[in-house]
Amino acid sequence: MGAPAPTEQPLSAYQLSEQSLERMYSYMLLARRLNERMMLLNRQGTAPFVIAGAGQEAAQVGAAMALQVGVDYLAPYYRDLAMNLVFGMTAREAMLNLFAKRDDPNSHGRQMPSHWGLRERHVVTQSSVVATQLLHATGIALAAKMRQDPVVVMACCGEGSTSRGDFHEALNFAAIHHLPVIFFVENNGYAISERVEKEVPTEHVADRARGYGIEGATVDGMDAVVVYQTVRQAVDQARRGRGPFLIEAKCYRLWAHSSDDDDSRYRPREELAEWAARDPIKLFRERVQNDGIFPAEDLDRIEAQIDEEVRDAAQWAMAQPDPEPADALGFVYKES
Amino acid sequence: MAEMRYREALREALREELIRDDRVFLMGEDIGAYGGSYAVTTGLLEEFGPERVRDTPIAESGIIGAGIGAAMGGMRPMVELMTINFSFLALDQIVNSAAKLYYMSHGQINVPMVVRMASGGGSQLAATHSHSLEGMYAHFPGLKVVCPSNPADAKGLLKRAFRDENTVIFIEHTSLYGIKGEVPDDPDFIIEFGKANVVREGTDVTLIGYSGSVWQASRAATMLEEQEGISAEVIDLRTLSPLDIETVIRSVKKTNRAVIVEDDWKFGGFGGELSAQIMERAFDWLDAPVARVSGKDVPLPYNRNLEFAALPSEEDVVEAVLAML
Ligand SMILES: Cc1ncc(C[n+]2csc(CCOP(=O)(O)OP(=O)(O)O)c2C)c(N)n1
Ligand SMILES: [Mg+2]
């Protein structure tokens, strides 16, 4: 798949405050820098497994910022670090999660890294079995509707995961009951080694919305602002009882599938180079700078702060205690 | 004979079967250019082409169901599921269709399909990725369940699986793919199902394992001999269904003690079945109750400390033996 041409709209046309644009940039960059550090730690042998979202940060931040943090629910998948940051996760927490430390608030060392979940932040923990969370999101939306609670649930997955029955069953169920779910598909072109053509027979994943009688949209997932606008509209409509929605963000997996993968076996280097030129973070920086929204010094300052935050988080988290072996035995059943 | 790794022995079996029988084809997620998540099918796409080595969408129920159909349609499919954990998604197809169509059709339709998948904990893959389901599959009438512990068995048993008229659940252990061993290169080399292997002879106690746990049992036997002067016999079941209970009973009647070793949860596990059969057939020969060393009855956690605490070790086997002597 080739990289789509970027939008030429000036940022001022989008009615996003300077503050929102700054937050967008910061979340994207923080996610990227955390992922880079995690991969480095993996190569140094201190983190057994890393799965990252490089190339998908614009899609993730644009989508998550369209939700109401503290009200809405997020059922993310393993690449959605940037979404979790928008929902309140700190750099230190992300590193605790990577190292599976005792104090990792997500699972205290039980889940694989990147399987986030924190009840108080409305982030739903997930199985490693792909697409299962789409049904949980549907159920959460059903419960909210039954309780007349005006929340919206966003459920995320990759395009490859839309081959699963759970994807179909979730869309079908949510559509029949008009549930407030945003199904957000991050189409990064690959499911491990398999190109999107082997996973999805239609041109766009979002074309499938028609089969369920719901609205669908395909957006440029390398453009955080465009993603934000599209998801925002869908969220507003869903909150008014006009959901669900299927949104596909076309982005690209800039790195290998995970720290265990060697993508040179199956991915042409030219394709990678073409997409790397459209790195969403680089594009965003160029735009806010060219549109005169932020001077380069401001952006450099943000970058320096983030670098420091990431360095501190890694060093601090590594020194935190591991869980005690005896902790393996608890929480199988809740006292009833 | 050639020395090769477990994964290479499996690959050799697949290659030879693809050459031998043109009805054989392979399908699964990332088995083509990627070579499979445990690098078993590396190079087969290049050699046999995309018609016979097919990458599929991520749809486990779909590919098992389509495999059943292809078998009904006269082909000999091998379906690879990345790991046994994802077979839960295909469980209805496996249990209600693959295992039963022959019975339900009164012998009209059989499902000669090989389902290969990786099993087991110990690789820090956490709760939803670390199941040991050999015993669960052995519970279902109509399925054959094969779980090789070494490269030669991997090849001989996989080749045998392609010659079966029924669905064979072929379970590989994630921690064994890299181990090396001597493997016969005769293309007619086959290991029959239902023939357990006495890996090591002994006189004081019988240690029974399958798949990865054979190695724990063997290491424990070495420790028992070196540290305690105890002679342990080690039996590798190789296939759980059909089960070679005769070899087990013969051994127990000689040693008068049995310890079953498995990664799986103890409650309701295969060890319980084995223990009952030993009791039914060799009660009068037993000098101690049959012991089971198995995983703790909890989902497997990710953190090393936690995972280690939840899985059985060779030290646990030694302890169980000492407790019964
Ligand atoms: C049901 C299931 N089958 C297989 C896997 C193994 N697996 C993990 S990630 C992955 C690829 C998913 O691709 P996609 O949905 O496009 O997400 P991406 O990794 O590209 O972001 C696969 C096959 C799994 N986790 N769950
Ligand atoms: Mg993908």
ipTM: 0.94
| B64/B87 Cα distance (integer angstroms) | 9
Say yes or no for a CB contact (<8 Å) between A324 and B305.
yes
User: Quick check: A1 pLDDT over 60?
Assistant: no
Q: Residues B157, B236: one domain?
A: no
Residue A11 is predicted with a pLDDT of 74
Q: How many domains does chain B have?
A: 2
Q: Residues B173, B254: one domain?
A: no
* Structural domains of chain A sorted by starting position, each given as residue range(s) with its CATH number in brackets: 23-294+304-316 (3.40.50.970)
The answer to the question of residue B111 being in a domain is yes
pLDDT band at A6 (very low <50, low <70, confident <90, very high): low
The answer to the question of residue B155 being in a domain is yes
Residue A3 is predicted with a pLDDT of 59
Residue A15 is predicted with a pLDDT of 75
**pLDDT tens for each residue of A172-191:** 999 999 999 999 999 999 99
Stronger pLDDT, A7 or A20, i.e. the higher one: A20
pLDDT band at A16 (very low <50, low <70, confident <90, very high): confident
Say yes or no for a CB contact (<8 Å) between A112 and B34.
no
CB-CB: which of B34, B299, B306 is closest to A266?
B34
Q: Residues B202, B179: one domain?
A: no
CB-CB: which of B32, B57, B309 is closest to A325?
B309
| Ligand 1 and A190: CB distance under 6 A | yes
| Ligand 1 and A9: CB distance under 6 A | no
- Asked, as a colleague might, if the bond just before B151 is cis with ω within 30 of 0, I would say no
The answer to the question of residue B191 being in a domain is no
Say yes or no for a CB contact (<8 Å) between A165 and B62.
yes
Q: Whose CA is nearest to atom 18 of ligand 1?
A: A158
| Ligand 1 and A200: CB distance under 6 A | no
Q: Residues B14, B149: one domain?
A: yes
**pLDDT tens for each residue of A261-306:** 999 999 999 999 999 999 999 999 999 999 898 999 999 999 999 9
Contact A62, A231 (CB under 8 A): yes
Could you tell me the distance, in angstroms and rounded to a whole number, from the CA of residue A250 to the centre of ligand 2? 10
A115 included as an active-site residue = no
**pLDDT tens for each residue of A199-238:** 999 999 999 999 999 999 999 999 999 999 999 999 999 9
Q: Whose CA is nearest to atom 20 of ligand 1?
A: A191
Q: Which residue, B134, B159, B183, sits at the end of a domain?
A: B183
Say yes or no for a CB contact (<8 Å) between B88 and A109.
no
In this prediction, the residues of chain B whose per-residue pLDDT falls under 70 are none
| Ligand 1 and B140: CB distance under 6 A | no
CA distance B182 to chain A (A): 28
Residue A4 is predicted with a pLDDT of 58
Q: Residues B172, B290: one domain?
A: no
**Nearest alpha carbon to residue B237 among B157, B124, B130, B322:** B157
Contact B286, B279 (CB under 8 A): yes
Residue B53 is predicted with a pLDDT of 98
How many CB atoms within 10 Å of residue B217? 28
Q: Residues B169, B225: one domain?
A: no
Q: Which residue, B183, B212, B234, sits at the end of a domain?
A: B183
Q: Distance of alpha carbon A88 from its chain centroid, rounded?
A: 13
The answer to the question of residue B121 being in a domain is yes
Query: What is Dmax (Cα atoms) for chain B?
Result: 58
Q: Residues B215, B133: one domain?
A: no
Q: Which whole-number Å values give the CA distances from B23 to A8, B17, B77, B283, in the listed order? A: 55, 9, 8, 48
Residue listed under structure tokens 């929204």: A293
Q: Which residues sit opposite B118 in a β-bridge? A: B172
Q: Which residues sit opposite B28 in a β-bridge? A: B55, B80
Say yes or no for a CB contact (<8 Å) between A194 and B29.
yes
Residue A242 is predicted with a pLDDT of 94
The answer to the question of residue B308 being in a domain is yes
A43 included as an active-site residue = no
CATH number of the domain that residue B104 is part of: 3.40.50.970
Q: Residues B265, B309: one domain?
A: yes
CATH number of the domain that residue B261 is part of: 3.40.50.920
Q: Whose CA is nearest to atom 19 of ligand 1?
A: A191
The answer to the question of residue B302 being in a domain is yes
Domain residues for the domain of B39 are 2-183
Q: Residues B58, B148: one domain?
A: yes
How many CB atoms within 10 Å of residue A301? 12
CA distance A131 to chain B (A): 10
Q: Residues B173, B235: one domain?
A: no
Tell whether B127 is within 8 A of chain A (Cβ).
Answer: yes
Q: Which residue, B114, B148, B183, sits at the end of a domain?
A: B183
Q: Read off the DSSP letter of residue B297.
A: S
| A123/A74 Cα distance (integer angstroms) | 5
CA neighbours closer than 13 Å in the CB half-sphere of residue B67: 36
User: What is the best residue among B82, B87, B93 to mutate for testing ligand 1's pocket, by most ligand atoms within 8 Å of CB?
Assistant: B82
User: What is the best residue among B58, B64, B93 to mutate for testing ligand 1's pocket, by most ligand atoms within 8 Å of CB?
Assistant: B58
CB-CB: which of A109, A113, A128 is closest to B306?
A109
Q: Residues B41, B114: one domain?
A: yes
The 3-state secondary structure of chain A, one letter per residue:
CCCCCCCCCCHHHHCCCHHHHHHHHHHHHHHHHHHHHHHHHHHCCCCCCCCCCCCCHHHHHHHHHCCCCCCCEEECCCCCHHHHHHCCCCHHHHHHHHHCCCCCCCCCCCCCCCCCCEHHHCECCCCCCCCHHHHHHHHHHHHHHHCCCCCCEEEEEECHHHHCHHHHHHHHHHHHCCCCEEEEEEECCEECCEEHHHCCCCCCHHHHHHHHCCEEEEEECCCHHHHHHHHHHHHHHHHCCCCCEEEEEECCCCCCCCCCCCHHHCCCHHHHHHHHCCCHHHHHHHHHHHCCCCCHHHHHHHHHHHHHHHHHHHHHHHCCCCCCHHHHHCCCCCCC
Strands, E assignment, chain B = 2-5, 24-28, 53-55, 76-81, 114-119, 144-146, 168-173, 180-183, 197-200, 205-209, 232-236, 239-241, 258-265, 291-295
Q: Residues B161, B234: one domain?
A: no
Residue A5 is predicted with a pLDDT of 63
Tell whether A150 is within 8 A of chain B (Cβ).
Answer: no
pTM of the predicted model as reported, rounded to 2 decimal places:
0.96
The answer to the question of residue B110 being in a domain is yes
Could you tell me the distance, in angstroms and rounded to a whole number, from the CA of residue B238 to the centre of ligand 2? 38
The answer to the question of residue B190 being in a domain is no
CB-CB: which of B30, B127, B129 is closest to A193?
B30
